[in-house]
Amino acid sequence: MDRRQFLNSSILGAASLAVTASGASLLTSCTPTEKKLEVPAPELRLSFQERTAPGESLNERLDYMESMGIVGFEPGGRNLAGRVNELQQALSGRNIKISAICAGFDGFILAEDPAVKAQFDSTMRDIIAAAGELGSTGVIMVPAFNGQKPCMPHTLDTREFLCEQMHELGEYALKHNTTVILEPLNRREAHYLRQVADAAAICRDAKSEGVKCMGDFWHMQEETSDYAAFLAAGKEYLQHVHVASRARRIMPGEDGEVDNYVEGFRALKQLNYPYYVSFECGTKGDRKQTVAAAVELLRTQWEQA
Ligand code: MG
């Protein structure tokens, strides 16, 4: 066994021990008859963004989603407060919940210009409050895109500032029964935050249960292991997942063999991940065919994981 194999088997062993331990503690707290009950298998809860499903109107797209067993919906955050009623009505009586809210604020949290930072503070808080009304798991945010300037320098002081600011946002989100979700991207789009474990460390250091993170399979080209990335965030911090094809960010499956999510899914299953895997991608093909094929591919790979 070489070092790599040893490390892999050690990580696997530790993870399966963790799963066994939580299963055991669950069983010991049960009555004797309940002991016979099996813990249900982790479910793949798929979610679509606003333009993922084919259809002309929101209702047509939601009808399509329901027919496909898609249980989450991830709208953009722009003008969310003005859309709460529309979205509540559209989802009423359906087996679809708001999964997360995708950004939509003005400004950015690491802006050097106080006016731009103030724009972020007020618009983000409006979105968080609306997200809470809609029962969202959280509001997704990126600390700074490469194109957003002037930006605070990437220093230890900036990280401390970010943790303090995230603490405040997280506490505000908790008051509204939701969270803020840090999304790592990749160095071409946002050099500041590129890896899931780094985002999870910021969550830890922000010291608020309202600060969470996510992984996006497309951006996760920066990771050496999808499996290790999700496990590093773990149950405590991993709140959302985005999925797309892995070369061109179109529908899973449209990039062929590179569209492999099995290792990431294996981590999600081991974590008993209770949240959503949400499509964030376009398509080069006929949407009716590529969306259906992508859903089937992900379900097949979830079974394989
Ligand atoms: Mg994303």
Closest CA to 35 of 23, 19, 18, 43: 23
Is 31 within a domain? no
Q: How far is the CA of 281 from the centre of ligand 1 (A)?
A: 9
pLDDT score of 12: 47
Tens of pLDDT, residue by residue over 164-222, are 999 999 999 999 999 999 999 999 999 999 999 999 999 999 999 999 999 999 999 98
For residues 104 and 78, the answer to whether their CB atoms sit within 8 Å is yes
How many A from CA of 249 to the centre of ligand 1?
Answer: 10
pLDDT tens per residue across span 243-292: 999 999 999 999 999 999 999 999 999 999 999 999 999 999 999 999 99
Confidence of residue 21 (pLDDT cuts 50, 70, 90): very low
User: Which runs of consecutive H residues, i.e. helices, occur in the chain?
Assistant: 3-28, 58-67, 84-91, 114-133, 156-175, 196-206, 226-237, 262-270, 287-304
Q: Is 12 inside any structural domain?
A: no
Q: What is the CATH number of the domain that holds 226?
A: 3.20.20.150
The verdict on residue 26 lying in a domain is no
For residue 253, is it within any domain? yes
Kind and range of the H or E element at 11? helix 3-28
**DSSP-based three-state secondary structure for 97:** strand
**112-120 long-range CB contacts below 8 Å, 24 or more apart?**
112/150, 112/151, 112/152, 113/150
* pLDDT for the residue numbered 282: 97
> What is the whole-number distance in angstroms between the Cα of residue 37 and the centre of ligand 1?
37
DSSP helix/strand/coil, 163: helix
Q: Is the pLDDT of residue 15 over 90?
A: no
Q: At what angle do helices 196-206 and 226-237 cross, to 10 degrees?
A: 20
Write out the residues surrounding ion ligand 1, Cβ under 5 A: 216, 242, 280
Task: State the total domains in the chain.
Answer: 1
Give the model's confidence band at 125: pLDDT under 50 very low, under 70 low, under 90 confident, else very high: very high
> Which domain range does residue 113 map to?
50-304
SS3 72: strand
In this prediction, residues 8-33 reach a mean pLDDT of 45
Please report the pLDDT score of residue 40 as a whole number. 79
CA of 183 to the centre of ligand 1 (A): 7
Q: Residue 41: which pLDDT band, with cuts at 50, 70 and 90?
A: confident
**Is residue 192 a part of any domain in this protein?**
yes
Residue 40 inside a domain? The answer is no
Report if residue 281 sits inside a domain: yes
What pLDDT, on the 0 to 100 scale, is given for residue 5? 52
Average pLDDT, the chain: 91
Evaluate whether 162 touches 204 at the Cβ level (below 8 Å): no
Residue 23 lies in a domain: no
State pLDDT tens for residues 49-104.
Answer: 999 999 999 999 999 999 999 999 999 999 999 999 999 999 999 999 999 999 99
- The pLDDT assigned to 25 comes to 41
User: What pLDDT, on the 0 to 100 scale, is given for residue 23?
Assistant: 41
